[in-house]
Structure 1
Amino acid sequence: MPAWTTKETFGNPIDFDIARNGFHLTISDRDQREHTLTWLQDHGYRLVRFDASLWADEPDMLTEIGTALDFPDYYGVNLDALNDCLSDVAEHDYGWKGDEIGLVLVVTAFEAFHRVAPKAASSLLSILAGQSLYAALFGNRILTITS
């Protein structure tokens, strides 16, 4: 099953535009970001919000993401474990409900985290991009919005 049907792409819907451009969108303007998030939520997406300015280091990021997406107890709280668990999220095993059309990870103040932990910040975006592509193979939708 495709993640989008041809009919669903008519009119350039916001979700398809984000996916078509790499499943990730950076939106600096607060009003535009809130408009986009409202549209996504109104169209059945689960929004999971993170304030990256509260992450002092990689373990803070990993812990908060694992908690928010209900990772299993065996989650190792490292980048490899994040990638592994996000593959389960991509397969729709946990992290979002069956009646939700997709998952949107919203990371505000991403640049603040990038300044204190550049490797972890870059790795996070890389992992999310890969898992978004993986999700699409199953007809699932995972999008990332940063600001």
Structure 2
Amino acid sequence: MRAEGFDVYLLDCESWDKNNCLLEIGNTLEFPDFYGKSLDAFNDCLSDIVPSGEGLVLVFKNFDKFNERDKDIAFHVLDIIQNNSW
């Protein structure tokens, strides 16, 4: 995907829980310092990203483990990504 001009971000979700997932996403995507680490703030900052190339690819490694621990927030994270992808 990088060779095709996409910005690719790898997110390892193995140790994620509802308290640290949004922090780690924000750090990986280099959200601004004012990022509030909430679902609303995640939505706002994600919608402001302008890819430097063809687009943006988020790769979630071990997402199933995060989903097993915190299904509700895992669903909301994916829902926000889906809504912003349109």
- With structure 1 as the length reference, what TM-score do the two structures score? 0.56
* Mapped pair 1:114 → 2:75: no
* Mapped pair 1:52 → 2:5: no
Structure 1: give runs of 5+ residues left out of the alignment: 1-39, 134-147
- For 1:123 and 1:116, the matched residues in 2 are separated by 14
User: Which letter maps to 1:75?
Assistant: Y
- With structure 2 as the length reference, what TM-score do the two structures score? 0.93
Counterpart for residue 65 of structure 1: 25
Bigger relative CO (Cα 8 Å, ≥ 6 apart): 2
List 4+ stretches of structure 1 deviating above 4 A: none
2:43 aligned counterpart, secondary structure: helix
Structure 2: give runs of 5+ residues left out of the alignment: none
Q: What pairs up with 1:62-141 in 2 under 5 angstroms?
A: 62-89=22-49, 92=50, 96=51, 98=52, 100-133=53-86
1:59 aligned counterpart, secondary structure: coil
The superposition leaves residues 17-41 of structure 1 with CA deviations (integer Å, 9 ceiling, x where unpaired) of: xxxxxxxxxxxxxxxxxxxxxxx12
How much does 1:68 deviate? 1.1
1:103 aligned counterpart, secondary structure: strand
Larger-Rg structure: 1
How much does 1:59 deviate? 2.6
Give the alignment's Cα RMSD to 1 decimal. 1.0
User: Which letter maps to 1:42?
Assistant: A
Q: What pairs up with 1:16-31 in 2 under 5 angstroms?
A: none
Identity among equivalent pairs (%): 40
